[in-house]
Every structure is written in structure tokens, then in C-alpha cells.
Amino acid sequence: MASVYIGLGGNLDCPKSHISQGLIELNHLPNTKYIICSSFYQSKPMGPQDQPDYINAVAKIITMLTPENLLLCLQQIEKNHQRIKTRHWGERTLDLDILLYEDIQLKTVRLTIPHPRMHERGFVMYPLEEIAPHLIIPSMGHIRELIPHCIYTDITKLDETPYPISA
């Protein structure tokens, strides 16, 4: 089984429920088990500012799916949430990104792991640090050392977590 960290985010139609529901769908993927999720974090949009604030979280799963197959599954979950591409860096109901897959480094046309811009994004790095404070990110370094260099840091940790997943 591979340990994988997934970034979840959204800013339309009650994003907290989309994220909570997304976790349940992750847990239902073949040969995949949900392990833990961070609290919710709220942040200003990176990209056009005339859109609602984002809610983000990071989850850890374990899976036997390959990175490519996992990506296809995540795209299907996004579709289940009526995710429609409106404009570049525009609003969305649910966005799911593979951040890390074990300590694999991979670059194909469809997929780059580790996620190439994760280290800049406070809305990824803060929730990731919450659930993996000792993580070392391949080719980037220790999470604690990367966080002070984040660019997008206008982020608030909410006193709420996604609703729990029962076994």
C-alpha cells in the first residue's frame, strides 16, 4: 500500500460539505482507505479575487492504485461534484490534487509528483503540516523549513474538521 497525501479545496456551494463528501468517496475507491484529514482552512483565492474565499484541507489515504489510476479516480470524483471549468484559476466546487505519493518523483504529461507548486501554497502546506509535521518532501525538503517560504499565507485555520467517516 502507498501513503498518499491529497489536497482538497473548493469555494462554491458549501465547500465544507463537498470536501467531507469527497473524503467519503476517496474511502470508497478500490483498494483504498482513508486515514486522516486536517482541519478546514479558509483563505483568499489565489487567482482572480472576485470569487468567494476557499476552504481547503489535506487528507492522507493509503492505496494500491497507481498514481495514474488514482488521478483518473480523483477526476471522476470531481465530476461527481459537478465541477465545471469556468475560467483559469476560477471558482470550483471540489478540486482534488495528488500532492505526494510515497516518496515518488514523477513527471508525465498529466501528472507531476510532488505537486510542483505545493511548497508555495499556504493553503496546502499548513493543513499538510497539521497531519504530517515531520514530513520530508522529495526534492523540496522538510515541511517545517519550507513553510516560512510560502507565498500565499493569508489563511485561517477553522475550528472545524470534516465530518467523520465511519468504517
Instruction: Report the interface residues with ligand ROI, using CB under 6 A.
Output: 9, 43, 45-47, 54, 56, 89, 95, 123
Active site residue 97: yes
Distance CA 167, CA 163 (A): 13
Return all residues near 10 (Cβ < 8 A) that are at least 6 apart: 18, 19, 54, 55, 81, 92, 93, 94, 95
Catalytic-role residue among 13, 50, 53, 83: 83
The one catalytic residue in 13, 50, 97, 117 is: 97
CB 131 within 8 A of CB 38: yes
Beta carbon nearer to ligand ROI, 45 or 114? 45
Is residue 95 flagged as an active site residue?
yes
- Where does 11-140 show beta strands of DSSP type E? 32-37, 41-43, 54-63, 95-101, 106-107, 112-113, 136-137
> Which CB, 33 or 51, lies closer to ligand ROI?
51
Q: Which residue is nearest to ligand ROI (CB)?
A: 9
The question of whether 144 is a catalytic residue gets the answer: no
Which of 123/126 has CB closer to ligand ROI?
123
Establish whether 117 is a catalytic residue.
Answer: no
Active site residue ranges:
83, 92, 95, 97
